[in-house]
Amino acid sequence: MESLYIVMPAYNEEKNIKKVVKQWYAVLDGKAENSKLVIADSGSTDRTHEILTELQKEYPKIEILEDTEQYHGPKLIALYDYAIKNKCDYIFQTDSDGQTNPDEFAAFWNMRKEYSGVFGNRTVRGDGKDRAFVEKVVCFLLRMYFGVKVPDANAPFRLMKTDVVKKYLYKIPYNYNLPNIMLVTYYAYCGEKLFFHEISFQSRQAGINSINIPKIVKIGWKALGDFHSFRKEMKNEFKRKN
């Protein structure tokens, strides 16, 4: 039986976290005994951590990472690193805001042996036209900078073989803001077998999104310089596979 680590970052999600954890914890049924639901909660100023600690008493496969960086990207990197070091077979990443549907996980799990990574494709988005537009711009930039064509680079719904994530994660700085985008880019650029599967994506169920459009623009502007550096390193290190 194969092990699965479901990993999710959290920040001020007291209105969502209990429901989200209960829904995703059920996905661990039928997986190896050492499977975990791992949540990175560092920096929350509401009751998120208190709620998670209470949930741990009822759900023993919950692990809480408290000593990560505060922001979303570095939390993802810390979560992936934790899963790699604990030698699970598969990593599944989603967010803690209730925008993704656990019922759609089974289709991804059924494809796990065929692909190195199965990534969500948000063809219809409930989080607004602005964010959908930003994603289109990101995919355009990836095609321009790296020559890779992907329909959705940043969806928080992705199942990946741990040994493949390990190949690329440590090429990304520990405090980088956009690790999910770069992981997809590495997968595509280096010829890993990946698949994009359509998923639903709801509007935020409760609470306030900590990453608003001005922050996205600021992060995106910095990403242009980062993409240039990544492209240079990738060209030097990897032979392009077609």
Contact 223, 178 (CB under 8 A): yes
Give residue limits of the domains in the chain.
4-237
> Quick one: pLDDT at residue 159?
99
What is d(CA 108, CA 120) in angstroms, rounded to the nearest whole number? Answer: 9
What is d(CA 235, CA 242) in angstroms, rounded to the nearest whole number? Answer: 14
pLDDT digits (tens, 9 = 90+) for 24-60: 999 999 999 999 999 999 889 999 999 999 999 999 9
3-class DSSP assignment, residue 161: strand
pLDDT digits (tens, 9 = 90+) for 145-175: 999 999 999 999 999 999 999 999 999 999 9
CATH no. for 4-237: 3.90.550.10
Can you give the pTM of this predicted structure?
Answer: 0.92
**Nearest residue to 171 (alpha-carbon basis) of 179, 161, 159:** 179
What is d(CA 106, CA 118) in angstroms, rounded to the nearest whole number? Answer: 12
3-class DSSP assignment, residue 69: coil
